[in-house]
Structure 1
């Protein structure tokens, strides 16, 4: 069963007080603030849509609206040719920030979507996808730091005091980043065993004994590694709902490796023995088969018939437990994000 994961792109935006026009340095900053505030609100709508909606079309429409708001703000700010009395340093840094933000959300987003489409094909692909997503965020945040530094330089130059952003919107964005980061860390632990287990299931379907053994060993190893990580994992606001769901998956995967896989191997080997014996018996004419051969073959048939029932029960039991564990993780992950990411 495939796991689910949500693509996230975050923006940290600059907000200050609002005004309509500028004749002083404060008015100049306020004019710029009016435009960045629109982007801040649109950014939050996008983040909220990702967190609380499963409608991909709605999320993409919100993303396009965000790109449009960045483009509109850039045009208006670019029109301020002289900045404030010829001082264009802060304006130019803001334009650079907007250009990079637009590129990351518009162009880089498509690349990341393509990576997401193959991310579940291996743990390495998933890690690469998450690293690429985080790199987008890092690039934007780097520009934000430059922008904030230039804003302070401009403010200090003209004797303006700018306090720390304590707006509700800023708080919401900060919380969202923390929640998604916490979710991502647990997702990687979950995905590593979930993917390995899917490879194990493929090996079982193909009756590949070597692959079954290799992947069951890897599954037990990754389960133990994950359980060790959970011992020191710091849950967001001490909410262990997703930690516990992850633990259940790991405990199941460990049991699957130590109990289910050996049972499968034993049944496959028994069935192979039966098939070999059946071929030998089929290749012989009835009047050339000895009583001992017939008795041994019939005993093997009886053993196989008995073990088929045992194997079917084992298979049903672990299929049910697997579905419950994975479905519980996906539901809990969705609920975790919905619970902690603020709603508009």
Structure 2
């Protein structure tokens, strides 16, 4: 599952000024803006790397580069001991923001990466992983709001007009967040059903009729719940490709619950009956077996031989369709992200 770093630094980025002795408050904002712009670019590089590559080392390298850019900015801003003519409130708020961002990206994201490794072991783990990831983003965004508010206080104090950040980079970050959020919502619907489906397949493999029934019931329930959610799901830019891929997956899983499971249980019961009959026949000598017993057993043998072929045919059919359905969802999801998250 790919991690989306929530965008931040949506604040004023003015023309760069190299002076550390500030003649005007605008010069002061420009200097800080130069440092934060570097962080924004590093953030975008990390975001687009997550979106367009599966290389874990490359992703982690860009994460570390982002952390380094935050550390460098903090060091430079810390040297502004007097802020702007003794006014240090905005500088201190910026340093607090950078400190929290560094901790979240460096430490918390490392924990999240570890959670990701076990996320697919259960739906609860996957949900916890996504919630933890979103919580980190919420914390960073909360600090951004504080920072923006403090910047406005500074600007109002010195009669500076600050508009919204309408840069291309800010737009790209906003788009990427929306795309990842849309993908994540559909993935959770897909994963919950897919994970239950794996439980059903394991029960079939173990000839566990009770487990088959339990997982089959859950599979039908979750598929129906997911299909209901899709009816009101708002697709990104009205692109229904991933919604339809999710729907197709849920419909197939529901078919497994309603068609495959009863077929498997029926065959298992027949095979169980055959094994019991064979055990009874084997316990008797040839001379003590009645003609009726022999006829019934032979009839059962023929029935099992016939159903084995049908059973294997049914399993192969569902296995092929399942593989195609899952692959379709995965590819569609990757294409969805690649299509809408800008590359650079």
The match for 1:327 is: 327
Deviation at 1:10?
2.1
Is the 8 Å Cα contact of residues 249 and 326 (structure 1) preserved in structure 2?
yes
Is the 8 Å Cα contact of residues 248 and 325 (structure 2) preserved in structure 1?
yes
Q: Which runs of 5+ in 2 are unaligned?
A: none
Deviation at 1:211?
1.1
Deviation at 1:46?
0.4
The match for 1:297 is: 297
The match for 2:245 is: 245
Is the 8 Å Cα contact of residues 7 and 177 (structure 2) preserved in structure 1?
no
Q: 1 CA distance for matches of 2:199 and 2:128?
A: 19
The match for 2:4 is: 8
**Counterpart check, 1:310 vs 2:310:** yes
The match for 1:19 is: 17
The match for 2:259 is: 259
Name the SS of the counterpart of 2:17 in structure 1: coil
> What is the correspondence of 1:41-56 to structure 2 with a 5 Å cutoff?
41-56=41-56
Is the 8 Å Cα contact of residues 196 and 215 (structure 1) preserved in structure 2?
yes
The match for 2:167 is: 167
> What is the correspondence of 1:61-80 to structure 2 with a 5 Å cutoff?
61-80=61-80
The match for 1:342 is: 342
Summarize deviations over 1:234-259 as a string: whole Å, max 9, x none: 00000001001001001101111100
The match for 1:226 is: 226
Deviation at 1:11?
3.3
The match for 1:281 is: 281
Q: 1 CA distance for matches of 2:113 and 2:267?
A: 42
Is the 8 Å Cα contact of residues 15 and 36 (structure 1) preserved in structure 2?
no
Is the 8 Å Cα contact of residues 12 and 162 (structure 2) preserved in structure 1?
no
Is the 8 Å Cα contact of residues 118 and 125 (structure 2) preserved in structure 1?
yes
Is the 8 Å Cα contact of residues 15 and 40 (structure 1) preserved in structure 2?
no
Summarize deviations over 1:174-230 as a string: whole Å, max 9, x none: 000000000011001100100000011111111111110111111111111111111
Q: 2 CA distance for matches of 1:259 and 1:279?
A: 31
Is the 8 Å Cα contact of residues 7 and 174 (structure 2) preserved in structure 1?
no
The match for 1:196 is: 196
Name the SS of the counterpart of 2:87 in structure 1: coil
Taking structure 1 as the reference length, the TM-score comes to 0.97
Q: Which runs of 5+ in 1 are unaligned?
A: none
**Counterpart check, 1:179 vs 2:179:** yes
Deviation at 1:55?
1.2
Q: 2 CA distance for matches of 1:68 and 1:9?
A: 16
CA RMSD of aligned residues (A): 0.8
The match for 1:125 is: 125
Q: 2 CA distance for matches of 1:227 and 1:313?
A: 28
Summarize deviations over 1:4-54 as a string: whole Å, max 9, x none: x21222231134112222321000000000000000001000000000111
Q: 1 CA distance for matches of 2:4 and 2:29?
A: 30
**Paired residues, number:** 340
Name the SS of the counterpart of 1:342 in structure 2: coil
The match for 1:213 is: 213
Is the 8 Å Cα contact of residues 15 and 37 (structure 1) preserved in structure 2?
no
Deviation at 1:330?
0.4
Structure 1 residues 37, 86: CA separation in 2 closer, same or farther (over 3 Å shift)? same
> What is the correspondence of 1:143-158 to structure 2 with a 5 Å cutoff?
143-158=143-158
Structure 1 residues 15, 52: CA separation in 2 closer, same or farther (over 3 Å shift)? farther
